């Protein structure tokens, strides 16, 4: 049987969970996820788990934050001037917003706190600092 190697295009079914068992994503009920192994399209820990698998293989892997979305960064907590927010926009902690970076790319943020003159925003990825658990099944090697 053919084993996956770097450069192969594969299709996998997966379920992503936190170590406490809370599920954050899954391909269940959808088409399998397709990507090129080793091309940087996936988080490192997920990508590194695929080589050597054969069609039908299933495995569960734990991925440390460093090989997933990285540690939480205090630099990603930003004070955003309230004057730059439309006056009619009601902001509350926990709200998700999207800002644009200097290159015009969308940056998802979460409102942490609303102060008199600034809004404290968290631009960390929602899975930053988390150890992740993935159940993976290889369904195709293209």
CATH number for the domain that contains residue 17:
3.10.50.40
Claim to verify: residue 107 and residue 136 sit in the same structural domain? no
Q: Indicate if the pLDDT at residue 1 is higher than 90.
A: no
**Interval 107-136 mean pLDDT:** 96
Claim to verify: residue 56 and residue 103 sit in the same structural domain? no
Q: How many CA atoms lie within 13 A of 41 on its CB side?
A: 14
Report the alpha-carbon distance of residue 54 to residue 1 in Å, rounded: 7
At residue 102, the pLDDT reads 87
Report the alpha-carbon distance of residue 141 to residue 127 in Å, rounded: 28
Q: Indicate if the pLDDT at residue 87 is higher than 90.
A: no
Q: Are 108 and 96 in contact (CB under 8 A)?
A: yes
Claim to verify: residue 43 and residue 91 sit in the same structural domain? no
**Interval 3-26 mean pLDDT:** 98
Claim to verify: residue 56 and residue 102 sit in the same structural domain? no
At residue 100, the pLDDT reads 87
* Residue span of the structural domain in which 109 resides: 74-122
At residue 101, the pLDDT reads 85
Claim to verify: residue 14 and residue 56 sit in the same structural domain? yes
- What CATH number is given to the structural domain containing 104? 2.40.10.330
**Interval 68-79 mean pLDDT:** 96
Q: Indicate if the pLDDT at residue 61 is higher than 90.
A: yes
Average model confidence (pLDDT) across the chain: 96
Q: Are 98 and 89 in contact (CB under 8 A)?
A: no
* pTM passes above 0.75: yes
- If one counts the domains in the chain, the total is 2
Claim to verify: residue 13 and residue 63 sit in the same structural domain? yes
Claim to verify: residue 78 and residue 53 sit in the same structural domain? no
């Amino acid at each position: 049987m053919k084993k996956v190697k770097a450069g192969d295009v594969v299709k996998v079914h997966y379920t992503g969970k936190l170590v406490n068992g809370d599920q954050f994503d899954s391909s269940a009920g959808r088409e399998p996820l397709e990507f090129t192994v080793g091309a940087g399209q996936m988080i490192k820990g997920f990508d590194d788990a695929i080589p050597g698998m054969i069609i039908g293989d299933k495995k569960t892997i734990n991925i440390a934050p460093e090989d997933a979305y990285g540690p939480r960064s205090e630099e990603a907590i930003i004070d955003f001037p309230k004057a730059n927010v439309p006056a009619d926009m009601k902001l509350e902690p926990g709200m998700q917003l999207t800002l644009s970076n200097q290159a015009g790319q969308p940056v998802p943020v979460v409102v942490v706190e609303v102060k008199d003159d600034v809004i404290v925003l968290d631009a960390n990825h929602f899975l930053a600092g988390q150890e992740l658990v993935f159940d993976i099944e290889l369904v195709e090697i293209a």
